[in-house]
Structures are given as structure tokens and as C-alpha cells.
Amino acid sequence: MNSTFMGLEIGKRGLQSHQQALHVTGHNISNAENKEYSRQKVVITSADPIYVPAFNRGDMPGQIGQGSTVSSVERIRDSFIDDRIVVEKNVMGFWKSKNDFIYQIETIYNEPSDQSIRSRMDAMWQAWQELSKYPEERAAREVVKEKGIHLAHEINIVFKQLFELRNEANMQIEQRVNQINMYAADIRDLNERIQKSEALGDNPNDLKDRRDALIEKLSNIVNVSVGKSDKDEVMVYISGETLVQGSIFRPLKVLRNPDNNGFFDVVWKVTETPVSVKGGELSGLLEVRDVILRQNINDINALAINITDLTNEVHRDGFGRRGETNVAFFKHINISDNDEGNFDFNNDGIIETGLYDKTAIFKVAGNNKVDASAAIGINGVLTFVGNDALDSEHEIPYNAYDTVNSVIKKINDAKMGVVAYIDHNSQLAIKATVAKDDDKKNFMIRHLEDNGQFLVGLTGILKQSGKQGSFDYRRVDDIIKFLPQREHITITPKFNPAGSMAVSDAIIKDVDKIAAAKGIDAGGTGDYNTSNGVGDGTNALSIASLRHKAAMVDSKTTFNEFYTSIIARIGTQGEETKDRLTNQGTLLKNLENMRQSVSGINLDEEMANMVAFQHGYNAAARVISTIDKMLETVIRLGA
């Protein structure tokens, strides 16, 4: 038979159940604006009945209920939606970091504008054009000088801003790694607290919300995946490698890479092995730093050195007002102080073992004038070393039916770090381009070899054919392998020539040295060693004509076309990132709406629940009050 006071116990349990339900409802309402919070629900179940089936049970119909109890407080989550959000936030982080930097690159170029590289180039070419018409006027020379200064200054500014932006991307990589470590350490700490709480039978919903929020923040930075196969611990992976496993945390760190301009590599702290970063803000930053900004900086460097080199090439052969010749219009700052092009590439500075370890040559022009369209009448094979990390060899065969132009086309089509062209003196010139492997090797000819006579007897670049006569940048003093005099050999420029481009001091101090006139062969020796007169502007016209020449041989474009292609490329990249970002934002918004429909707080619904639980609480109290009166009646009967 059930106890006389059993009704009080049932009422008390009803009070407790509805009171806890009201507490949870209040907790939900308090976190209505907390985007990291998941709605919680009290699961109220009936308490175990008094009697279970047995022969000694009480002789009365049915089981006797004992009221209600709160079996659990559940988090309302949809794991499928959560996993989708983790994946899509990773994609969102990647495009957002790219978009932020590409927008800044577009701002740096400042196109279209009157103060941009393109407008400065146009102004300089126009100034040379005007000088060719009025070579005797000093004012026209002043304009050429000023326009040259303006162009060089604009290239300096663009380079400096791109270089600083690359450094900023590098610093942000370090910051993101620190954030990853901070979030991962917090996840580790939450794992410990959750494990301890669950061991005591609790359901730490708020701690799980915090952990899930941290995982989402982590996925925004780097490609993470979550393993939940073990119910006792949550594991977080980066590209399959464990970042957090329960209470174990493997931190990351950054290491400076001397082969990448001292920029940071992301590695595991203990093993110092590279981390495979394939998504998120960190991946976007690495792509921006090592691909997009590197390409833009190298393109500006290539533009600067080629404008400098080709302008100087023509200018040196011309004459100033007083007959000065062999004067450079733009400064060319060599990579090394050594006149032979020897360079300490590994920067060890050890004199005992030989201070220099490379011969850095940018361009060499042959001694002989050639008819580029005539058959060369000789056979052989040219050997070059490509501008990649492997220093791989490339062979270019030629035969008697080839012309110089056809051999030049073979060289240029091979895309191996050197280009060939016929210069304004009808001589074959070979120059280096941007390196694929190491920026420090930009504009270095790596290897020239000819087992025949194309580079030797025909064009006059090398002294001797075969391996013994080959030039190789990995040897010191190898400039001696070239036949031309030093004035026809250009040493590799200082790192990042766009940053140091400037009009030469000689021109700054005296504009009369600007070589507007060409020379004449006064003695009939074939040497154009005498000025054609102050009124001659043909050399200035030749320089002005460079704007229409496919001077960027590697891309077969003019200076303006090359620069326009840079602007078009960054504009296309910017458009793509904006579109991707917009689409990803829409997708995430839809997923977030789906999650909120499941896990979000609906205040109207919570208010309705609150009223229901309040009525339930009042009803349970009424039960206790009624039982109390019944007991009072019983007690009075015994009085």
C-alpha cells in the first residue's frame, strides 16, 4: 500500500521539475542575442513507479506513479548543419583574406589616374618625342629629365607599397598561427572540463557551445576537421594531422625561411615539419604573400629593369650637346661591387674559402652585327640552364637552314629564364628574366653553351664553343668566357631594381648630357664615334620609339601592354574574389538561418513555454496544498 504522504512527494517533484524548466527557459531568454548559444530543452520524464511486476507486489490495480523527474537538459543542435558551416567558413576565410589584400593592391596601382605608372610612362615617352623635334632646346631636355624622375619615383612608390604589403601579409601569418594556438589551447581546456563534468553525470551544454564556437573560429583560419568517433573526446585535425586530441594539444609555430626572403613558414612546433595548409585565412595569406604579391613585385621589377636597360642601351650610343657619349640615362646599381660580376650569393662572407660564389650577369650583347633574316649556314646545339630550383638543362638545336630570328624564337619559346633579341645595333643580345625558384636569382643568366658557332663566330657572344667555353653562373670570374668588351655586358642589378630606379646623377647634374643625337662614322672605320650635331634628335626619337617596341621580350609585349596586363590581371582577380566572397556570404547566411531555425532562441516560443511551466508549477503547488488539507482532516479525526 502506498504511503499516506506520497502525494506530497509527487507534488514536490512536480515543483522541482517545473522550476528547473523555468530556469532553463530563463537561461534561453538571457542568451537570446548570443550567437554562439544553442537552445536548451528540459526533458521531463515520469519517475519510476513503486511496484514492479513480482508475486509479492501489493494487491491493487496498476503501478503507482511517483510523479516526474528531469532526466536531462538537451542542446538542440543539427550536427549536419554544424559540419557544413565549419567547411564553408573555411572557404569564406580563404576568399576574405585574398579579397582584403587584392583590394589594397588595386589601390596601390591607382588606375586609372593621372598619377600612375602608366600615365608617367606616357609622359616620359612624349617628352622624348618632343626632344627629338627640338634637340637644341635646353627646356625640352629639362622636361625629359623631370619626366624620367617622375616615372622612377612612381615605380619606387608602387614597389615600396607592394613590398610593405607583402611584409604585412607575412606578419598576419604569424598572428594567425598565434590565434590557432590560442583557440586550440582553449579547446583542449574545454575538453578537460567537459570530460570531468560528464564523468560526474552532468551535461555541460554551455561548455560544448563554447567549444563548437572555437572550432568554427579555427576553421575560419585554417582547414580543420573534427573527429567525434570517440564519445569521450573530440579531436581536431589539420590536413589529417592531430592538432587537439582530448587533453593533448600540438602547437604550431613560424620559422623564417632564408630561401623565401626570410618570410615565415608554418610548422609543427615540436617536429618543425611543415603544416599542410589548404584553406582558411592562413591559406589565403600564404597565397597572397608567395604568389600574388611576389608576382606583382617581380613584374614591377621586370618593368623597371627593362625600361632602365633599353633606355640606357640606346642612350649610351648617343651624344649630348657637348659631344658626351656612353652616359646612362637611368642608374643601374649592380648587385655586387665587383666589376667582374662576382657575387657572394650565400652571404657567408668567408674570404678564406673565396668570398664570391656566383657570377651574376644580366645581359650580354654580341660583338658582331647579324642579318637576322638570312640563313645561318651552321649546325649545332645551344645549352641553357633553366631558372628553376633544379637548374635543369635545356637544349636548343639549330641547323644551316635556320635564321637568327628562328633561333631567337626557339630560345624565347622555351621559357627557360633567358630571352634573346636583336638590339638597335643589329647585334644579338641575351638577357635574363625573373627566376622561378629564388627571387635572389632574378635577372641572372645561368648558363650559356654552344657546341657550334652560333654564339661564337656568328654572333660573337662566347669566345669558345663546347663545355670549356661555356658560361655558368655557378662559377666565379666566368665573365671572361664572354667575347664582348665590358660595356656590352651588364651585371645583374641590385635586388628589387624597382625600389632603386632613378635617373642617373650625371643627367640630374647636367641635362646637356642627355643624348638626343646619334653618332656618325667620321673616319670610315665603322665606329659611330662623332656626334651628328646639336640639332640632331634621332637618338631621342629612337628612345621615344621604345614605347612601340615589344621590349618585354618574355611576354612579347610593349612596356605599356605589359603594365596594362598587370592591371588587368589584378582587376580580374579582384572581381573573382568579390564574387566568391558574395556567394560564400549568401551560402553561410542561409546555413546560419537553418541553424537558427533549429538552435536559435524564439522569444515568443520561450514566453509560451514559460507560461506553461508557470501553470505547471502552480498546479503542483496546488496538489501539495490539497494533500495538506487531506492530511489535516485525517489528523483531526484522530484527535
Convert 436-482 into a string of H (helix), E (strand) and C (coil).
Answer: CCCHHHCCCCCEEEECCCHHHHHCCCECCCCHHHCEECCCCCHHHHE
Per-residue pLDDT, 577: 95
Q: How far apart are the first and last CA of the chain?
A: 24
Residue 530 falls within a domain, yes or no?
no
Mean pLDDT in residue range 279-291: 95
The pLDDT score that the predictor gives to residue 352 is 44
Q: Do 179 and 271 reside in the same domain of the chain? A: yes
Q: Which of 254, 50, 78, 290 is nearest to 167 (CA)?
A: 290
Q: Which of 125-129, 228-232, 337-341 has the highest mean pLDDT?
A: 125-129
Non-local (6+) Cβ contacts of 374 within 8 A are 403, 404
Q: Which three cell numbers stand for residue 578?
A: 568579390
Asked if residue 315 lies in contact with residue 519, where contact means CB atoms within 8 angstroms, the answer is no
Q: Among all chains, which residue has been given the C-alpha cell 519510476?
A: 48
Whether residues 590 and 620 fall in one domain: no
Task: Check pLDDT > 60 for residue 4.
Answer: yes
Inform me whether the pLDDT recorded for 214 exceeds 80.
yes
520 three-state secondary structure? strand
The pLDDT tens digits of the residues spanning 503-550 come to 999 999 999 999 999 877 655 555 566 777 888 899 999 999 999 998
In a domain, 316, yes or no: no
Question: Mean pLDDT over residues 132-146, rounded?
Answer: 94
Give the integer Cα–Cα distance in Å for 556 and 559.
10
* Residues 69 and 109 placed together within one structural domain of the fold: no
Q: Which residue has the higher pLDDT, 608 or 202?
A: 608
Cα–Cα distance measured from residue 563 to residue 389, given in angstroms and rounded to the nearest whole number: 27
Residue 200 confidence (pLDDT): 86
Q: Worst-scoring range by mean pLDDT, 163-177, 431-445, 470-484, 518-532?
A: 518-532
In the block, which residue shows the cell 600540438?
250
Contact 208, 233 (CB under 8 A): no
Structure confidence at residue 517 (pLDDT) = 92
Q: Please check whether residues 265 and 160 belong to one and the same domain.
A: yes
Task: Evaluate if residue 320 carries a pLDDT over 50.
Answer: yes
Element (H, E) at 242: strand 241-245
- Comparing 260-264, 317-321, 434-438, 526-530, the range with the smallest average pLDDT is 526-530
Please indicate, yes or no, if residue 182 is contained in any of the structural domains.
yes
Q: What is the pLDDT of residue 48?
A: 78
Range of the domain at 570: 79-281+551-599
Residue 482, φ and ψ in degrees, nearest 5: -85, 140
Report phi then psi at 112, rounded to 5: -80, 145
**67 and 98 belong to one structural domain:** no
Nearest partner of 539 among 372, 324, 364, 373, judged by Cα: 324
Q: Are residues 583 and 631 in the same domain?
A: no
The one-character DSSP state at 512 is G
Q: Which residue has the cell 573526446?
A: 233
Residue 293 lies in a domain: no
Mean pLDDT of the chain: 90
Q: What is the mean pLDDT of residues 93-119?
A: 93
Same domain for 34 and 23, yes or no, is yes
CA distance 435 to 387: 5
How would you classify the pairing of strands 447-450 and 471-472? antiparallel
Residue 12 has pLDDT above 80, yes or no: yes
216-247 per-residue burial string, b: 16 or more CB within 10 A, e: under 16: bbbbbbbbbbbeeeeeebbbbebeeeebbbee
CA distance 528 to 317: 8
Task: Establish if 357 belongs to a structural domain.
Answer: no
Kindly state whether residues 30 and 102 are assigned to the same domain: no
Is 453 within the bounds of a domain? no
ω into 112 cis (within 30 of 0): yes
**pLDDT value of residue 464:** 94
Same domain, yes or no: 91 and 54: no
Please indicate, yes or no, if residue 570 is contained in any of the structural domains: yes
Residues 589 and 633 placed together within one structural domain of the fold? no
SS3 163: helix
The answer to the question of residue 578 being in a domain is yes
227 lies in the same domain as 208: yes
Amino acid letter, 357: D
Structural domains counted in the chain: 2
For the CA atoms of the chain, what is the radius of gyration?
39
What tens digit of pLDDT does each residue of 64-86 get? 677 888 888 889 988 899 999 99
For the chain, give the percent of residues with pLDDT over 90.
Answer: 66
What mean pLDDT do residues 548-570 have?
91
Closest of 427, 307, 412 to residue 371, by C-alpha: 427
Residues 23 and 139 in one domain: no
Task: Give the per-residue pLDDT at 611.
Answer: 92
CA of residue 347 relative to chain centroid, distance: 27
Is the pLDDT at 588 greater than 80? The verdict is yes
Report the C-alpha gap between 630 and 248 in whole angstroms: 60
Mean per-residue pLDDT for 188-203? Answer: 89
